[in-house]
Structure 1
């Protein structure tokens, strides 16, 4: 995983789910907006995703 931005693959690895499932989650209301969105490419700031994980998947929260 890159420290600068995460793909859905990175998010999936972080959560222990498939990239496809991470893509599905990324389209839900409340999921952080991507920091980069160009065509089909969407990238997220790790801190934004970690905050979402802490709020919505506390069993997967870092720390």
Structure 2
């Protein structure tokens, strides 16, 4: 039986992945209506599936010419 592994990331990892976002900008970003829903809310904060965040980033980068700043 093959087990699947889910890679997760929190707001801090999202900040690192995008680069250059302040904490406030990152929280605004993850609260956008088009951002993926978190898969869990832990005591340390929300977590997202890496694959979903990466897919969202790819879509946003191609449609907005790399501008990922919150509106």
Tell me if TM exceeds 0.5: yes
Where structure 1 has 5 or more consecutive residues not aligned to the other structure, the ranges are none
Instruction: Give the count of matched residue pairs.
Output: 58
Q: How big is the shift at 1:18?
A: 2.6
Where structure 2 has 5 or more consecutive residues not aligned to the other structure, the ranges are 1-5
Which structure has more relative contact order (CA 8 Å, sep 6+)? It is 2
Aligned-residue CA RMSD (Å): 2.2
Spell out structure 1 runs of 4+ moving beyond 6 A: none
Higher strand content, 1 or 2 = 2
Higher helix content, 1 or 2 = 1
TM-score by length of 2: 0.68
**DSSP 3-state at the match of 1:49:** helix
